[in-house]
Structure 1
């Protein structure tokens, strides 16, 4: 019997894996929020340079994981593709659909330090950490436009769980096999955290830089003579943290390669990182998991990260303005203090 899969967060990323898994014959339920009505009526429409155009996927559509459970859903896997925002308490949102000891939870999310929330909430379930490389945008509700590249880097959390925790190896091996069968370039890593820090070189530099400047990467590079040097310096602070943690493949050579990829795009339209898309649409951003956790890890390791600290403060302020600011007005400061007062009181 084919595994049952719940995709929590069926937007630009999640919908692609909904399509691939359905194509491979798996039973898929998709949790949708803003695109619920469109997906419920017509399914997902995907135009992809890699997989083809005018692709349709018709999973079972629900608004919440609780609804999926109430309808009798028992899931072998839950794929979490929603944004990694601590205040959302995503572990609680998926809890109704988690069967203790059975459901394997796979986190398709950005940043570092994202796994602890789920490990604490579900100590008896296999937990996989997944680094996603997939250029995809939701151009209208339930309609995705995807580029020509896709790759997943997968590992258990913690890394030792693959060999030491009952059920993790079988769940992980099956998960990788089913994604490969579906057409994903999925790869297993004994310690995927090193891959998370490699990707963080991109996320912690380009995401906030583009969001704060409201510019794509190539536009920012063209904005000032030293723009590339500043981005490179941000990447190097991530390198220094990763090296302090023992991740030797995150190094200056890798940093040069990553920066060169953006430089090679000069002359084209550039890329819109997720934080820029969120800023343009007035949505919350993954500030804590991309910047905050990196800054805190750097401080704990005794690594100086002044540029990341500045970006963290600026991005945090921008994120709060998304949450509290009234149209056409700046934040006065009373809004955030009042909200924090409510939180402290509760």
Structure 2
């Protein structure tokens, strides 16, 4: 049996871990709090695309076991925030056979993990999904669900192939990619405009953002900046993807972004993973990205954090 250690119990990790449970995997969850409640009540998934289901983890704990030898994969579904370091959770060394899957938002997030665990395979996953956590263990899946997986430092990757097969066996549209960095830029092309604008517009959903000519223009200009960065970074997302995303967003159910939900709940926002790292890459290639820079500066003020150097 494929045994997985899941870090975090948010919308993305809870939803996709649930599909892996349906595929026959064994799941243990590490959470910062409410472990007893989650162990007793499990997860209740309200999924419009995949149907409602519930599942119970094999174990839930707030302190990791001393040995991770029995696991086949670590699935990191935590928010990608500077203050959340894997070293503080997993320790400085983990078994060399143990791969880590980063099922998180952002660009340039694999390098720090590879530097921390140079002997381990680092996988990356991008979920194109509309899903929110309503409360502990309760997740609402509104639309989409496509999953792209790839290995940062192994080719071919047997564990990636295994995960794709497992997801596909339970109806998740999963695909394997040899260019996970391009997939990350593609996801960022959507996240970079819609997440920040939803916060700065005082809570507008995706449909409302696109309905106004001025905010629609802003979305497209930010997408253009991301497209330029992807090309300079050697993982170009075609410019035609902009029209594809606009059309896709217009047809999907109105959606409150994860950054907006974090802001409304008083939680830290994933500013650096989504915007700050993009600005570092822009600085590396000496290109100006004024729209991204403006959003980042304003949101940093709202988040009460220091600027990126």
Compute the TM-score of the two structures, normalised by the length of structure 1.
0.82
CA distance in 2, matches of 1:42, 1:291: 36
Contact 2:36 2:60 in 1 (8 A): no
Aligned to 2:77: 81
> Counterpart in 1 of 2:41?
42
Q: Does 2:243 align with 1:256? A: yes
Checking the alignment, whether the CA contact within 8 Å between 1:39 and 1:61 is kept in structure 2 is no
Partners of 1:217 and 1:22 lie apart in 2 by 31
1:194 aligns with 2:182: yes
Q: Sort the Cα spacing of 1:234 and 1:31 in 2 relative to 1 into closer, same or farther, 3 A.
A: same
1:295 aligns with 2:279: yes
Tell me which residue corresponds to 2:155.
162
Per the alignment, residue 112 of structure 1 pairs with 107
How big is the shift at 1:91? 3.8
Asked if 1:218 is matched to 2:207, the reply is yes
5+ residue gaps, structure 1, are 164-168, 322-335, 338-346
1:156–1:236 distance in 2 versus 1, CA, 3 Å: same
C-alpha distance in structure 2 between counterparts of 1:216 and 1:35, whole Å: 30
TM-score calculated relative to the size of structure 2: 0.91
Matches within 5 A, 1:134-153: 134-153=129-148
Alignment of 1:218-257 (within 5 A): 218-222=207-211, 224-248=212-236, 250-257=237-244
**1:179 shift after superposition:** 2.7
CA drift of 1:292 comes to 0.4
Write the deviation string for residues 58-81 of structure 1: whole angstroms up to 9, x where unpaired. Answer: 1133333xx342487721101001
State the match for 1:319 in structure 2: 303
| 3-state SS in 2 of match to 1:284 | coil
Query: C-alpha distance in 1, partners of 2:242/2:68?
Result: 48
RMSD: 2.2
Q: Which has the higher helix share?
A: 1
Structure 1 residue 34 displacement after superposition: 4.7
1:192 shift after superposition: 1.0
Q: Where do 5+ consecutive residues of structure 2 fail to align?
A: none
Residue 94 (str. 1) matches residue 90 (str. 2):
yes
Q: Does 1:56 align with 2:51?
A: no
- Higher alpha-carbon Rg: 1
